Amino acid sequence: MPSAEIITIGTEILLGEIVDTNTRHIARILRGMGVNLFRTVTIGDNVERIADAIRNSMKRAEIVITTGGLGPTVDDPTREAVALALGVETEFREDLWEQVVAVISRYGRKPSENQKRQAYIPNGALAIKNPVGTAPCFIVESPLSDRAERSGAPRHADEAGVRESVIISLPGVPNEMEYILHNSIVPYLQKRFDLNEIIKIRVLHCAGLGEGMIDEKIADLETLNNPTVGLAAHTGVVDIRIAAKARNETEADEMIAKIESDVRQRLGDIVFGADEDKLEEAALNAVASRGWSLIGIESGLDGALARKIPRTVSISTQSVQASNLLDVLRATRSESKADAALGVIASIEDRTADIALITPRGEKTHHITYGGPPRSVTRWAVNLALDWLRRRARDPEGD
């Protein structure tokens, strides 16, 4: 099973001017192919630093993928950096220049002289055409050393631990990168590395218990080798990731299903959904299953509850406080003729929230305090309130 590393190139990413979405997309594609991704890194537009990152990745991984830095300007240094990392020169490719000219002509323009830079790739590289942009891509196959060949070392590692690597350089523009990745790079990798395994992931979403308490209940599962089980804590929600490596999707599904069943048995309704399921959907579905109509009120949340519950009234902090939340909620419920009402008020400064819930089965209030960053108070309060609503709708006696 080959391993991979991703190097994202661009000073604008390091400075936080744009968000890197390419790494996530490439990682998911590699995962689906059964490739182990162990490291990702972002490097600014500096030839020496990029070359150094490539050399280091080549020592650890068989597949090194770069994105970005293939444009026509001086601060697009990937071509030169890959060449420097491998100790070769760049060479002008007339066929790539013709491709650049053809793409630009579709816009009724002639290429500028600096765009010839895009027709240069490292000497000996395999050119990959870019039919959806002006930045040709390339693959450089780093050969095994003579010593490794003489010693009969495995295909992907010589006796000193230096790996045979392929360096794949893709554009930074997401739609160009994705097109080339799917249409050219995936078939290349499948053939080159004889990829015949897949990695499939199932994510279970939990609410009502913290990460530490969930860890205690499933700690033994987290030591498994295949499938692997891991936790990721969010604000008021904890994800359990189950990843299975198998020869085909059916086998992976069977492996995942066995672990998922075990997790659900241990955690019960702490698990509210999987994969694309959302907490608000689980709460609203539970309410709908009771045949209840629902109204919400919020204060101090800046519309956070209203974005989850369609019928939500925002009330000023002067009109509603913890002391009169239940009274205000009763009046709102009565006026709207709703069966159930959920009220949430939050104090970012104090990092506290108060929740009130009225259903046909009775009334409940809850005061909660938060130990995390103040900016997360609203999201935390809304998630806890939605989970409380979900639980009360599913089990009117539960909290």
**Residue 190, strand partner residues:** none
Provide the whole-model pTM.
0.74
- Confidence category of residue 397, pLDDT binned at 50, 70, 90: low
- Confidence category of residue 114, pLDDT binned at 50, 70, 90: confident
Taking only the tens place, the pLDDT of each residue in 47-63 is 999 999 999 999 999 99
Give the span between the Cα atoms of 56 and 64, in whole angstroms: 10
pLDDT of residue 153: 33
Mean pLDDT score, 242-264: 94
Looking at the predicted structure, is the pLDDT value of residue 147 above 50? no
Backbone dihedral angles phi then psi of residue 379, each to the nearest 5 degrees: -65, -40
- Confidence category of residue 163, pLDDT binned at 50, 70, 90: low
- Confidence category of residue 155, pLDDT binned at 50, 70, 90: very low
Looking at the predicted structure, is the pLDDT value of residue 341 above 60? yes
- Kindly provide the b/e burial profile for residues 96-112, where b requires at least 16 CB atoms within 10 angstroms of the residue's own CB: bbebbeebeeeeeeebe
pLDDT of residue 110: 81
Mean pLDDT score of the chain: 88
Lowest model confidence (mean pLDDT) among 22-26, 148-152, 214-218, 314-318: 148-152
Decide which of 30 and 109 is more confident. Answer: 30
Strand positions, DSSP E, 252-361: 271-274, 294-299, 312-314, 340-347, 352-359
Looking at the predicted structure, is the pLDDT value of residue 345 above 90? yes
Looking at the predicted structure, is the pLDDT value of residue 140 above 60? yes
Mean pLDDT score, 296-323: 89
- Confidence category of residue 371, pLDDT binned at 50, 70, 90: confident
Strands 166-170 and 137-141, by their bridges, are antiparallel
Give the span between the Cα atoms of 205 and 228, in whole angstroms: 16
- Confidence category of residue 130, pLDDT binned at 50, 70, 90: confident
Q: What share of the chain in percent tops pLDDT 90? A: 68
pLDDT of residue 72: 84
Mean pLDDT score, 109-132: 86
pLDDT of residue 105: 82
- Confidence category of residue 156, pLDDT binned at 50, 70, 90: very low
pLDDT of residue 396: 59
- Confidence category of residue 131, pLDDT binned at 50, 70, 90: confident
Mean pLDDT score, 127-156: 64
Give the span between the Cα atoms of 304 and 347, in whole angstroms: 13
Helices (H) and strands (E) in the chain, counts: 13, 17
For the chain, domains (ranges, CATH) are: 3-192 (3.40.980.10), 198-274 (3.30.70.2860), 279-394 (3.90.950.20)
Mean pLDDT score, 53-81: 92
Three-state SS at 306: coil
pLDDT of residue 150: 30
- Confidence category of residue 143, pLDDT binned at 50, 70, 90: low
Three-state SS at 42: strand
